[in-house]
Amino acid sequence: MLDNKTILITGGTGSFGKQFVKTVLTKFKPKRLIIFSRDELKQFEMREQFSEQTYPCLRYFIGDIRDRSRLTRAFNGVDFVIHAAALKQVSTCEYNPIEAVKTNVMGAANVIDAAIDCKVRHVIALSTDKAVSPINLYGATKLCSDKLFVSANNYSGADGPKFSVVRYGNVVGSRGSVIPVFMKARQHTHLDITDQRMTRFWITVGQSVNFVLQSLLIARGGEIYIPKLPSMKIVDLANAIAPHCKFNVIGARPGEKLHEMMISEEDARYTLDIGDYYLILPFSKSHEIEMLTTSGVGVRCPEGFCYSSHHNDHWLTRNDLAQMVSDINIPLS
């Protein structure tokens, strides 16, 4: 699918971006693979691992998604865009709300406009479980971003780009993940826990990249794709990483939920269970649900269904966690 194609990833120097580049270079032969980000140091460091000399298809673009003209220049001749750039730290967004809106909302609008102007074939935007029934600003901006990308299909035109969204939970070992924090706490006798009841969805960065590529293959535009993920209690995670530490319960931080959700009851009315993943159809295509169900593509989610981290059939054990952590080379005790 990506052979001899031009792919651009915004926020390409992040955890997801690095793994995406590695996967694409391993599995495909792209014409060009463009890393678009605003941090020259991270690009310099990434070049040491993925240089243009070793991989002639690579291009490094300095730019910010807040700058529409720079996006338009970068999107020239691009077939596929993976939009991963965002301000993602909950506490940072709470303290800097306008900056979060400029990047996560207005930046998303710029990506959409540039993609339409440059006749990109397809855009996949990365979302988060925090966008469902959000209580923090980060989640609210990502919900708005999701709405923008879904609605963009209404005015991109029949021959214009298709826009789809991929939504998943916490990425194991990514920047901002709690795992590195817990790893450092192993050096002490106490470990801070916000709330012992807390649960989260978990996915590895490799799994997230593969799911994005899978979604890109089948997406028609307007859908939100959600992988079926395991959950884990935060106390189980802490015990797996630092079993000798005692818990110091400090209380939930501003904007922090006890449990995360990836499909709300309202979303479930337009959601199909496809087996390994869920598919939320846009309202404009809700009439297709019965057709897709009848043809055996998927099963309509029941009335009142919601997909929450504490109402899940799949829970991670310590062995499961050990395997996930080993994939990112962070040893457990």
- pLDDT tens, residue by residue, 21-51: 999 999 999 999 999 999 999 999 999 999 9
Rounded distance between C-alpha atoms, residue 8 and residue 285, angstroms:
28
pLDDT, residue 309, reads 95
- Cα-Cα-Cα-Cα torsion 249, 254, 256, 262, nearest 10 degrees, comes to 180
User: What would the two tokens of residue 92 be?
Assistant: 């940072």
pLDDT, residue 294, reads 79
For residues 1-37, one letter each, b for 16 or more C-beta atoms within 10 angstroms of the residue's C-beta and e for the rest, the string is ebeebbbbbbbbbbbbbbbbbebbbeebebebbbbbb
Residue boundaries of the structural domains of the chain: 6-170+202-229
pLDDT, residue 241, reads 80
- pLDDT tens, residue by residue, 51-104: 999 999 999 999 999 999 999 999 999 999 999 999 999 989 999 999 999 999
What mean pLDDT is reported for the chain? 91
pLDDT, residue 332, reads 46
Rounded distance between C-alpha atoms, residue 175 and residue 171, angstroms:
9
| Share of residues in the chain with pLDDT > 70 (%) | 95
8 A C-beta contact, residue 176 and residue 298: no
User: What class, spelled out in words, does domain 6-170+202-229 have in CATH?
Assistant: alpha beta
Confidence class of residue 189 from pLDDT cuts 50, 70 and 90?
confident
Give the least confident one: 54-58, 121-125, 201-205, 277-281: 201-205
* Mean pLDDT within 186-199: 85
Q: Is the pLDDT of residue 308 over 90?
A: yes
What positions carry a catalytic annotation? 130
Q: Is the pLDDT of residue 211 over 70?
A: yes
Q: Is the pLDDT of residue 9 over 80?
A: yes
User: What would the two tokens of residue 50 be?
Assistant: 């993925």
pLDDT, residue 290, reads 83
Q: Residue 317: how many CA atoms within 13 Å on its side-chain side? A: 2
Confidence class of residue 333 from pLDDT cuts 50, 70 and 90?
very low
Q: Is the pLDDT of residue 173 over 80?
A: no
Confidence class of residue 327 from pLDDT cuts 50, 70 and 90?
low
Helix ranges (DSSP H) in 55-136: 68-74, 90-95, 97-101, 107-117
- Contacts (Cβ under 8 Å, ≥6 apart) of 260: 129, 130, 132, 169, 170, 199, 200, 201, 308, 309
Helix ranges (DSSP H) in the chain: 15-27, 40-49, 68-74, 90-95, 97-101, 107-117, 137-151, 178-185, 205-218, 234-241, 265-268, 288-294, 318-326
- pLDDT tens, residue by residue, 236-286: 888 878 778 888 888 888 888 999 999 999 999 999 999 999 999 998 787
Per the model's pLDDT, the better-predicted residue between 16 and 317 turns out to be: 16
Give the least confident one: 64-78, 164-178, 299-313: 164-178
pLDDT, residue 216, reads 94
| Share of residues in the chain with pLDDT > 90 (%) | 69
